Amino acid sequence: MSTSSTRLEPQAPQPLLLQRFVMAQGVYASLLLLLALAMATGHARVPFTALVLGGISLVLSQLAFFLLLRSGRSQRFQDPGMTEAQVLVALFWQTVLLGCLDGGARATLMAFYVPILLFGLFQLHPVAFGRCALLAFVGFVALEWGEALFLPQARAEPPFLQLATLFVLLFWLCLFGRHVEGMRQRRQAPTAYQDARHGALRQPEDQVSTDELTGLCNRRQFLRLAQRDLLHLPAHAQYGLALIDLDHFKRINDRYGHAAGDRVLQTFATLAQACLRDSDVLARYGGEEFVLLLPNVNLDQISVCCERLREAFASAEPLGLSLGGLSLSIGMTRLQRGDDLDLALQRAEQALQRAKHNGRNRCEASWEPSDARTDRRSASS
């Protein structure tokens, strides 16, 4: 598991990411209203040109975040919500706002560092959160130092109390973030007794529903889960379905032995689970073939997810093996209410065969039944 300072979590649903973004815009709106109030009461003087340019820059920065989230392109990032980037940009604009105010108003609105950082408190690793807090403090110090250096008449005495207050505030926020992280880890880590007890109770069921080599669902369990979800699929919902085949797997077995082949299968299973959400269902379908069910996704999200799996596997290095480049081929389709699971699997299989025919190491789609009929005609010709 990666120890990157950005938390590695299963992807948050896109509506939730957009909801967080809208909430962040509420903070921006509050800051702009307070700036307008400060200007009206004589606590801020901002040249009209600077106000217009700053407003345009702010809108463009938020528009960039919105387009990345709305299009699903942010799902390719390690943090699909771009939490740290959004927090850093907001801290920058908060510091710019404080630079427009006089000393009294600045001391008051300095408190807005807190709600900005709270957006990252439950999403960021403590190291990343501490980095954001440090940059907030450094930005404020640079603002005060620059004003003292270039505008000495604007301040009668150094703002030691403001700096100390901000430092203590950010320090305790960082400590609280570490405490939250510790609580999360303790809740997620079962005790040895619970682990052993649950394992003993579930062992007979797991033997029936789990692939022994990879720890994934087996084919029978996947079909049971997929049929159940399809039966209860809402009218306007859509699922993604993908068949995944590891390219040239027989060659790996023949050249390096079956133990190496098993290691490659385990590597893919571990890597894929790290890339997927908790709600996604990945199963070993047979041999070197896997099947993937993606709930509540649009066509672009299905393609992005499968491309991310393909790229991640291409850079994988199974422990203790030097195999050169690994690759896989994926056939994608979608499931909607009223669809037949067997026919959908046939469409995914048609797309998978097309991916192999077109050179492997690629993703192909057969979204509609008509696509599958076209594939069959092409194959027969």
HSE at residue 277, side-chain half, CA atoms within 13 A, is: 18
Which residue in 288, 307, 317, 368 is the catalytic one?
Answer: 288
In a domain, residue 247? The reply is yes
In a domain, residue 253? The reply is yes
Quick one: 152 and 252 in the same domain?
no
- Could you give the CA distance from residue 20 to residue 8 in angstroms, rounded to a whole number? 18
Question: Which of these, 125, 7, 16, lies nearest to 77 by C-alpha position?
Answer: 7
Quick one: 87 and 236 in the same domain?
no
Q: What is the pLDDT of residue 364?
A: 95
Quick one: 83 and 223 in the same domain?
no
Quick one: 19 and 125 in the same domain?
yes
Q: What is the pLDDT of residue 201?
A: 46
- Could you give the CA distance from residue 206 to residue 215 in angstroms, rounded to a whole number? 9
Cα Rg of the chain, angstroms? 27
Question: Which of these, 5, 1, 4, 12, lies nearest to 296 by C-alpha position?
Answer: 12
Quick one: 145 and 279 in the same domain?
no
Quick one: 130 and 251 in the same domain?
no
In a domain, residue 130? The reply is yes
Question: Which of these, 180, 165, 71, lies nearest to 120 by C-alpha position?
Answer: 180
Active site residue 288: yes
Quick one: 217 and 163 in the same domain?
no
Query: Which CATH number belongs to the domain containing residue 336 in this structure?
Result: 3.30.70.270
Quick one: 167 and 37 in the same domain?
yes
Question: Which of these, 366, 334, 368, 329, lies nearest to 240 by C-alpha position?
Answer: 334
In a domain, residue 291? The reply is yes
**Contact 17/69 with Cβ under 8 angstroms?**
yes
Quick one: 49 and 135 in the same domain?
yes
Quick one: 143 and 29 in the same domain?
yes
Q: What is the pLDDT of residue 358?
A: 94
3-class secondary structure, 323: coil
In a domain, residue 161? The reply is yes
Domain extent, residue 297, equals: 212-380
In a domain, residue 7? The reply is no
**Contact 314/325 with Cβ under 8 angstroms?**
yes
- Could you give the CA distance from residue 91 to residue 78 in angstroms, rounded to a whole number? 21
The Cα-based distances of 175 to 8, 53, 129, 178, 287 in angstroms read 21, 37, 10, 5, 49
In a domain, residue 348? The reply is yes
Q: What is the pLDDT of residue 190?
A: 47
How close are the terminal C-alpha atoms of the chain, in Å? 48
Q: What is the pTM of this model?
A: 0.47
Q: What is the pLDDT of residue 371?
A: 52
Count of structural domains, the chain: 2
Which amino acid is located at 353 in the chain?
Q
Quick one: 172 and 58 in the same domain?
yes
In a domain, residue 200? The reply is no
Domain end call among 188, 223, 257 = 188
Which amino acid is located at 188 in the chain?
Q
Quick one: 242 and 305 in the same domain?
yes
Output the tens digit of pLDDT for each of the chain's 381 residues: 333 444 434 444 557 777 778 888 888 888 888 888 888 888 877 788 888 898 899 999 999 988 888 887 777 777 777 888 888 998 898 888 888 887 777 777 787 788 888 877 777 778 888 888 888 888 888 887 877 776 655 555 556 666 676 677 777 677 766 766 665 555 544 444 455 545 554 555 555 789 999 999 999 999 999 999 988 888 889 999 999 999 999 988 888 888 888 999 998 999 999 889 989 999 999 999 999 999 999 999 999 999 999 999 988 878 667 777 789 999 999 999 889 999 999 999 999 999 999 999 999 999 876 554 445 444 444
